Each structure stands twice: as structure tokens, then as C-alpha cells.
Amino acid sequence: MLSVNGVKRFPKIELHCHLDGSVMHSAVKRIMKGEGDLDQMADKMKVPKKVSDLRTYLACFDYTLPFLQSRENLEIAAYELIREAADENTIYIEVRFAPQFHCREGLSQSEACRAVLKGLELGERDFGVKSRAILCMMRGASEENNLKTVECAKELLHCGAAGLDLAGDEKSYPPGLYKNIFDKAGNLGIPFTVHAGECGSAQNVKTAIEMGACRIGHGVAIAGNPEIKQMCIKNNIVLEMCPVSNLQTKAVDSIRNYPFVEMACENVPVTINTDNRMVSDTCLTKEWELLGGSFQEIDERIMEEAGRTAVEAVFLPSVQKRKLAEEYERKVNLFKKLEQSV
């Protein structure tokens, strides 16, 4: 395994990072304009040490969302997230958020989207990290609001938005309930990922794949299901795995039982992601360090292959994807040369 500094400097691709769960300390400082106890506020945005399940974990967002109800604050949050990603040599990140969650004080979904996209664009300009947005539809939300999110994705596709997602309480709202909406997204040519297999149901992953999902958020529940793992291999369905978050939500009971290495060795397409950088108090470097401390198989080679898998799964047009692949290989090769010279 690489040193902590080596892991931090290794080129990274991230597919699964929620904006409202990644309101970084620097963003809190700017949003609050230096007023209040910033450390205390940042701590309130982090998950408690004891969490019983995903629903309890999701309650943390009740504190962060009130800060994200203006164009300015959304732009700041997106920009500062890109700053954070750049600090650990992320070269491309897909940032997801639910536009309907940012309409409490008068913004439309479209206006919320454009504010986030502006922040991402400015972040790319200043820090060199390429980014795209994934718009989340929400379990339990009205069909009207979710369809508005689909319309925003259609409007902004290839203008900063890259695809759709379905997030929220998976146990209460399995993906099959949203088939009609995903059918519409598919007919519009909008790629989508689905949060599934995070709450113990492998069947939800199968349903999401059958509905046309290109990727699966989390997917840990398929570890013991050869049929669905084979579906992922055959159809190149990439799992966006998030170890720290999955431990916190009790999707797995211990890091030693985390199925990333197992599935990677079986050729299931797997990637490593943060899910929520602030809420989970994590980053890609910490995710890899956690795995590396528990599995001797984790090394530079497996990190490189996970990054390559992520590149192939990004929601970008083919020409842009090819350029990203070339950049990734170039930066990985440069990293190797620098490591050898030390």
C-alpha cells in the first residue's frame, strides 16, 4: 500500500459525491461570513458516532440544507467542494444534488441547478478539476417535483449537467416505484444511476438495472448474490461504493466484511467514492486508507484499476470521455515515475 501522502497524490476520479453532504469547512466560513462558532457548526454537519441506520444518517442533512437556499450559497458550496477535491489530486468529479431541496426560499429547480453549475465551473477554472453535476430525484417526493428534475436534466444536459439519480430512503421506496419516470429519462437520452443495495436489498439493484441504470450507488447488498453480480459484469454496470458511509449507515457491519476487494477480484466493475465528505468526515484519501488498513490486496494497482473503471463510467460524451481517459493515464504514469525517483 502507498503511504498516506502517496495515496493523497495518486490521481483520482470520483463518481458519487453529494453536494449537500459535502458543505466543506471553507464553504461554511464563507457562507456565515466569519460569524458564529464555525467549528461547532461544522461539527453539527457531521454524522454522530452512533447511527442506527440510513434514515438516521439522512437526518444530518436537515441541518445543512437551510444553508443552501440561495444562488450565492449554492455557488460557494460547489466551488469549495472542488477546492477540496483538488487538494487530493482529483482530476474529475461528478457532484450530485437534489434541485428540489433548494427551493424553500424562492429558487426554482432550474435556478438552483444553474447556481451549482456556476460554482463547479469557477472551481474548474481556479483549481483545474473537471466536474459535472448529477441531478437527484428523491424517494418520497411528488412525481411533479421529480419530473421537474428530469426536465432540468434535459435542459442542462451537456451544459454542466450529466445525468440523473434516485436517492433517499431506499427501504421505504424501492426503485420500481419510479419506473415511469426512468422510462421518460431513458426516452430523453439522459443516463442515470440509482441508489440501490444500500439497505440490504439485492433485488433493488436488479430492478434498477432492468430499468436501465448505467451505474448503481453503493450496491453492497449484491455481495452474496452471484446472479446479480453476473448481471453487473455482463452489462458493465459500475458500482459506486462508499466504504466510510456504508459503515456509518450499517450497510455493512465491519470494514473486514466490506465487499470491495471480493467483487474487484470477481471482475465486478467497482469504484471508490466519498458519498458525503463533510457529513461522513471523509475524503478519497481516507476511503483508500481505510481499505488499505484492512485488506492486504489494496495497492497501487487496484487503485489504478478502480480509477480506470470510473473513467469508463463517467457520464460524458465519448470524445470527452476519451480525453479524460488519456489525461488519467498520463497522470498515473507521471505519478509512477515520480514515485520511482523518490
Which residues are annotated as catalytic? 198
Closest by Cα among 212, 251, 208 to 56: 251
Which positions ≥6 away from 309 have C-beta within 8 Å? 238, 269, 270, 271
Q: How far, in Å, CA of 163 to CA of 150, rounded?
A: 9
Instruction: Report whether 38 contacts 25 (CB < 8 A).
Output: yes
Instruction: Report whether 202 contacts 225 (CB < 8 A).
Output: yes
Q: How far, in Å, CA of 203 to CA of 197, rounded?
A: 8
- For residue 309, CA distances in Å to 32, 93, 113, 237 come to 39, 14, 27, 10
- For residue 172, CA distances in Å to 114, 175, 242 come to 31, 10, 21
Q: How far, in Å, CA of 237 to CA of 336, rounded?
A: 29
Can you list the positions of beta strands (E) in 114-241?
Answer: 130-138, 161-167, 193-196, 215-218, 238-241
Sign of CA dihedral 145, 248, 283, 40: positive
Closest by Cα among 165, 151, 248 to 211: 165
Widest Cα–Cα separation across the chain = 57
